[in-house]
Structure 1
């Protein structure tokens, strides 16, 4: 008969830690306890053979229980770990079964993602069209949901800049900027970004996710006894940097200046503090009260970290974002932005004082140990920024805002549940992941409109939506056709337009008695299975 206790552990575990098990738990075993009594009488050394079927390969102190480690230091199997089968020593963890179970969970709650197979087109007059291959046959579609907000990726000057850089410098950067060299193109782009945001310096990253994560982590770890104050609606990249830093964090309600003030008052003014938030929220389209947040942060001795990812290129006289539009660039301490949305390329950056940028450059692992952006991307982005800072850029922004207003009003006139937003993002509230996906699929398959459904974990459960982002190149005819076809899909699925734009109770836990209500200000609220805790990691 196999031992019901030892049967829970694998052969390798027993081989390595048998002596610890023997010393710690043998006394409770009706068989082993007898040998312990005998061994104590004979003053048995722990290095002597023990009545297990395996031998320890480690040396421990000869004093009973005085070992150089304890069971707590090792990964002892929990009661919930039912997937592990250690009936024989050849058993291993059923990895593939576990992976499939995790996928099945996503499919059951309709949050499993199936990527559309889409090749965007950038030829003359083709943007914002694309070719779609999900049905195994090529067919043309119109894209309504991309973040290439101004179509600058298809601009002939940007494409030419990329082509010239490819011919001269090749396709890759060759490594990190420390190893492969610091190209003049990188330096020129950083100077341009610093000037754009009226800062002393800027630093390029491979993405804005890396820029946010690395910068917040590095600052928080280096500033002594730092506290971070984070907007509850912040992007996952900011949350990850804050969480990984391990410093004290305080979550204020989304865009709530008064709540931020209350939290800041609880920390000594001389204590280093970072207030982190976004200007334009990517899913709701909300725009923060920027100057008020900046003023409150500085009043209590904090520096500010502002994510302008969904604003750069789109707002301000030169496309520097909401900060430029509102005339508060000098008040913004650290600005993060992306080259991958309105600037039509890929990559991220931060801008700030020269000493701050140099410190991040010197300490941030996400910058130091990552291959730098290739010259094609850097040259294309530089040209895009120049275009959007010019008169042509101002004309594009004007057309963009006109089209956003037209489509939004058309949808509202037809009774669709459009969430109120002051920005260029148009969210249509659905509130059900399966229905949201069905609408997206029908629009694509039957009418050739690509609008990706936005489900958990990008948004909280119950906040599923269609997210539209019309560009200056979507014509009135195209927008009229979209709304007409959307109505057909709505009728086909027998949907109501009476969708509540705000949920009952807490946005994340759906508990009507929860005081969080619209936005969860505390990621450590302790509510069982709170989706906000998952969202903060997975979004």
Structure 2
């Protein structure tokens, strides 16, 4: 058809007699095909029966009438149909077949996901029931790390707020209006990380995507440096940024510096990384990354999703934990010197894990928060969280800040479970955090192990397969809370031992003979020291600065927009 059109432009008096705008108008009015019947070149071709067709490449498609004509084609593929004087045997794309093929491929490569029906019980935490309410299981893989989803004070705050303000927010802040609950929550988040300001999103996935995308859109000549194990939300945000990017080897500072040194200091740069990597439990060298960022002129973007609530004297995350004593002494105030947390430019976190509800946030300088508030579509055009949710979250943050004993008890339970697994030779991927990944190494056995724990032992631990982890590193991921005491832990340990025996899974000695894998059984793997020291896990709430009890914070202007 395109060849005919080009020929017609040279020899057809009809085409020569019309301007390009005139032809576009005919196409828009659906008269182009009818007029073309009179063309000495196009007419005979259009009246001839067409037994096959080749789709025009989208980049070269010009006539608007084509889409209109195509819409008239019958969905029937059995017989040719007439289209403005000619017939076609073109078949519509078979979407069902294509989708089925993709799903079948996912099943064959063992990356297909199965969701279990798990209904967590607030009054029996960490228990849940399955489809039947009398079929109860013990949950060992939840990210409700501190059990705040069942906290009575948070619950009462949410109910009271909901009764007064309803169940929804009514829309975006720009359309539906701003409210005190958003301002209060963002003030609490900023105070937690000792930053000038903060913004709350519907999830940390949205926060990460929005901020990283914005960096690329506003600095098109910039570069993003990303740890190779970063979460999917950061990967998506970096892709959406559509600027140059580099992946550096996980926690490899030499590789990161090598990449940073490729660019002038004046080039806009951002280093994106996490504090605790949730699938393996490793912890990033935040201070060293900040050193490199200052040396090469880069912003630092730290995701503390799997650390907030559990690290630092007040639960602000690993960045706070690295200056533990100074923050413990200062309470809600900032220490007298520049801390690791104050050196990080942007900190993101979740409100749906250790804080027990839902949502995400970013904290940083007042100027950066106003920039994100003003330009990020993911913030501007998303319905804000309901008032009851935000009120409950503000309450949750205040409780977590002043309750170091929950953090301590969680770490004690983590230490106990890791020690018992070590005694049995159960392969735990070594790390200094609260994550307990049990290495299995293949998707089939990983799914079987999860099913046996659930169906035989009434213990829920989800199998972690590709793409959450690389192929060949499949694992069970266990996350103790302060409520998983010794009795519950002993039940888990006995059940896991039974699974390892039943399936003949590799133990530490087997991986050692294999040469080591994921740090398990590796001769050159260094001993991992827990982030929480022996002295720190002896602390109680009485050791906190009294200023963390019922603090009064000045509300943030940036939440509503800064008035000049």
Correspondences of 1:496-507 after superposition (within 5 Å): 496-498=506-508, 500=511
1:153 is matched with 149
C-alpha distance after superposition, 1:296-355 (max 9, x if no partner): 111100111110000111111111101111131110000000001101011000001111
Question: Which whole-Å CA distance do the structure 2 matches of 1:505 and 1:473 have between them?
Answer: 33
Q: Does 1:459 align with 2:469?
A: yes
Question: Which whole-Å CA distance do the structure 2 matches of 1:504 and 1:49 have between them?
Answer: 74
Question: Which whole-Å CA distance do the structure 2 matches of 1:407 and 1:318 have between them?
Answer: 24
C-alpha distance after superposition, 1:466-515 (max 9, x if no partner): 000010101101111111111112222222314649998999xxxxxxxx
Range 99-108 or range 378-387, more displaced: 99-108
Question: Which whole-Å CA distance do the structure 2 matches of 1:424 and 1:417 have between them?
Answer: 16
Question: Which whole-Å CA distance do the structure 2 matches of 1:448 and 1:505 have between them?
Answer: 31
C-alpha distance after superposition, 1:5-60 (max 9, x if no partner): xxxxxxxxxxxxx2x0545799xxxxxxxxxxxxxxxxx765544266479xxxxx
1:99 is matched with 99
Q: Does 1:298 align with 2:267?
A: no
Question: Which whole-Å CA distance do the structure 1 matches of 2:186 and 2:485 have between them?
Answer: 35
1:359 is matched with 371
Distance 1:54 1:304, change over 3 A: farther
Deviation at 1:188, TM superposition (A): 0.7
1:41 is matched with none
Question: Which whole-Å CA distance do the structure 1 matches of 2:516 and 2:5 have between them?
Answer: 53
Correspondences of 1:260-279 after superposition (within 5 Å): 260-279=256-275
1:120 is matched with 120
C-alpha distance after superposition, 1:401-441 (max 9, x if no partner): 00000001111111111100100000001111111011001
**Superposed CA RMSD:** 2.6
2:68 is matched with none
Q: Does 1:177 align with 2:173?
A: yes
Contact 1:86 1:92 in 2 (8 A): no
2:558 is matched with none
Distance 1:504 1:100, change over 3 A: farther
1:309 is matched with 305
Q: Does 1:444 align with 2:462?
A: no
Contact 1:429 1:501 in 2 (8 A): no
Question: Which whole-Å CA distance do the structure 1 matches of 2:420 and 2:240 have between them?
Answer: 44
Q: Does 1:253 align with 2:249?
A: yes
* Residue of 337, 346, 353 corresponding to 1:341: 353
Correspondences of 1:235-254 after superposition (within 5 Å): 235-254=231-250
* Residue of 473, 477, 491 corresponding to 2:487: 477
Contact 1:228 1:249 in 2 (8 A): yes
Q: Point out the structure with the larger helix share.
A: 2
Residue 477 of structure 2 aligns to a residue whose secondary structure is strand
Contact 1:388 1:394 in 2 (8 A): yes
* Residue of 309, 312, 322 corresponding to 2:318: 322
Question: Which whole-Å CA distance do the structure 1 matches of 2:143 and 2:450 have between them?
Answer: 17
Contact 1:308 1:322 in 2 (8 A): yes
Question: Which whole-Å CA distance do the structure 1 matches of 2:7 and 2:255 have between them?
Answer: 52
Q: Does 1:396 align with 2:406?
A: yes
Contact 1:173 1:374 in 2 (8 A): yes
Matched residue count: 446
Contact 2:5 2:42 in 1 (8 A): no
1:129 is matched with 127
Structure 2 unaligned runs (5+)? Answer: 9-38, 51-55, 63-76, 81-88, 324-339, 519-564
2:431 is matched with 421
1:512 is matched with none
* Residue of 363, 368, 374 corresponding to 2:386: 374
Residue 113 of structure 2 aligns to a residue whose secondary structure is coil
Residue 419 of structure 1 aligns to a residue whose secondary structure is coil
